[in-house]
Amino acid sequence: AARPRRYVLCEVVSDEPRCRQGFEERAVGLAVRDAIARVHGDYGLGCCSISFTVKYLNAYTGVVLLRCRKDACGLLCSALPFVRQLESRNQRYPCVLNTLHVGGTIRTCQKFLIQYNRRQLLLLLQNCTNEEERRCVQKSLLSCSLTEEQSQSGDEEDDDGTE
């Protein structure tokens, strides 16, 4: 039987606009592993590394989806605030990982992300100072298009029936 897994949805926050250039799965994975090793030592790193992987990464929005074993989720989540930079091509970009949601399946994380993005867009529209800004935000929203991809069924399964 497969071990139960958890999916941790994070957002990369950085004041450095060039941070997105160094945004690749390998860089995020190394930064998270480094933080786990600093906070929890070799034992924590060993526990977290067994099934740890970066499942999804969006360089435009800064959204990252991490997968780990259910029993190592606490170790992983407690180390995430200690990620302070991403390193890519010998460049270091200061950033932090903001945990948005922890779920039992990728689908629950997707549902959360849709609701989260809706709330963020609503805030963006409410913070517009004039009608021109409002029109620009609405126009950029209408120009967005989504394509639906069929996910692998193995990642959608909730191994232990909880979320």
CATH tag, 1-104: 3.30.70.3250
C-alpha to C-alpha distance for 64 and 159, rounded to whole angstroms: 22
Give the alpha-carbon dihedral of 23, 25, 29, 32, to 10 degrees: 40
> Which 8-state DSSP code applies to residue 89?
T
User: In the prediction, which pLDDT does 68 show?
Assistant: 95
Say whether pLDDT at 158 is over 50.
Answer: no
CA dist 105 and 8 (Å) reads 10
Residues 57, 63: Cα–Cα separation, whole Å = 6
Q: What's the chain's average pLDDT?
A: 82
Residue spans of the domains in the chain: they are 1-104, 106-147
| High-pLDDT (> 70) share of the chain, % | 82
The pLDDT of residue 17 is above 80: no
How confident is residue 120, by pLDDT bands cut at 50, 70 and 90?
confident
For the stretch 37-88, pLDDT in tens is: 999 999 999 999 989 999 998 877 889 999 999 999 999 999 999 999 888 7
pLDDT at position 58: 84
What pLDDT does residue 46 have?
Answer: 93
Tell me the whole-structure pTM to 2 decimals: 0.75
Both tokens assigned to 68: 């780990």
